Amino acid sequence: MDNDKIILKRLRKQIFLTGYKGGLAHFASCYSCLEIIYTLYCKGILRIDKKNPKWKERDRFILSKGHAGLALYAVLTEQGLISKERFESYLQSENCIGGEPCMRDSEWIEATTGSLGHGLSMGLGMAIANKTDNRNAKVYVILGDGECEEGTVWEAAMSASALKLDNLIVILDCNRIQKMDFVNRTIGSDNWRQKMEAFGWLVKEVDGHDVNKLYDLFLEKNDSGLPLFIIAHTTKGNGVSIMENMPNWHFKLPNKKELKIFQTELDIDSSEME
């Protein structure tokens, strides 16, 4: 197992232990986008200054599907941007971290999210501001595919292409599942490439769990003058067999029998559950 896979398995373990002890968590949603967030922060894609979270020339990241906030906080902890104690305070008494990313929780959170559909609009505004101020900084936004049923997503998508915001990169966590059912059984056609190209975006596709492919794609130069939409094909619940591609795991904790599978597949010792 390569080093990235070792770290990612450990992060999945930490996300589970923290969420389980907190009593509530969207584990499956966290596990589908974890490699994407990890690549952005831990492989040097995001241009940030660890000593100055509000550096004006920084790249910005917005997790629009805010219910996967534990994945973001786990990666921030891995990078030393927030403390382990702060991460583990999730949903505890006197806690510092809640269920979704919140700007008051950390200087490293660029947008308070959780009300779905608004992250791209916020990213759009940041990208416009960077253009206005002649900054080379980029704005990265992760959307959920179920989230794309929200109308504000498409208003922002139309505006971004009209304004030629080639400094805006959207990554679609395309795990094909929303809450309690599959996306295509809820909205019908889920042909994201066709839709985004019709809205005037440059569209690329990638395996959303392959760190090397994600890394290479993020480094590709965009000479199109258009905003970039990356369809990251992912598996909801990736890393724990009983969660993978199962809509009923959107928001629940395992029972005693299921817990044993989590412990086995994530290498969790019983003492760590105490």
- What residue segments make up the domains of the chain, in order of their start? 3-273
Tokens representing residue 157 in the block: 């998508």
**Range of weakest confidence among 88-92, 198-202, 220-224, 260-264:** 88-92
Q: Using DSSP bridges, classify how beta strands 177-178 and 181-182 pair: parallel, antiparallel or unpaired.
A: antiparallel
CA distance 46 to 40: 5
pLDDT digits (tens, 9 = 90+) for 110-167: 999 999 999 999 999 999 999 999 999 999 999 999 999 999 999 999 999 999 999 9
C-alpha to C-alpha distances, 220 to 21, 200, 230, 260, nearest whole angstrom? 40, 19, 12, 42
pLDDT tops 80 at residue 168 = yes
Percentage of the residues of the chain whose pLDDT score is greater than 90: 91
CA distance 214 to 205: 10
Q: Which fold has domain 3-273?
A: Rossmann fold (3.40.50)
pLDDT tops 90 at residue 81 = yes
DSSP character for 102?
-
Instruction: Find all residues with CB under 8 Å of 181, minimum gap 6, and list them.
Output: 247
Pick the closest to residue 193 from 162, 222, 229 (CA basis). Answer: 229
pLDDT digits (tens, 9 = 90+) for 230-273: 999 999 999 999 999 999 999 999 999 999 999 999 999 989 98
Tokens representing residue 234 in the block: 């992912």
Residue 93 is predicted with a pLDDT of 77
Residue 246 is predicted with a pLDDT of 96
pLDDT digits (tens, 9 = 90+) for 61-80: 999 999 999 999 999 999 99
Q: Centre a 10 Å sphere on the Cβ of residue 10 and count the other Cβ atoms it contains.
A: 14
Q: Centre a 10 Å sphere on the Cβ of residue 30 and count the other Cβ atoms it contains.
A: 28
pLDDT digits (tens, 9 = 90+) for 30-58: 999 999 999 999 999 999 999 999 999 99
Residue 1 is predicted with a pLDDT of 56
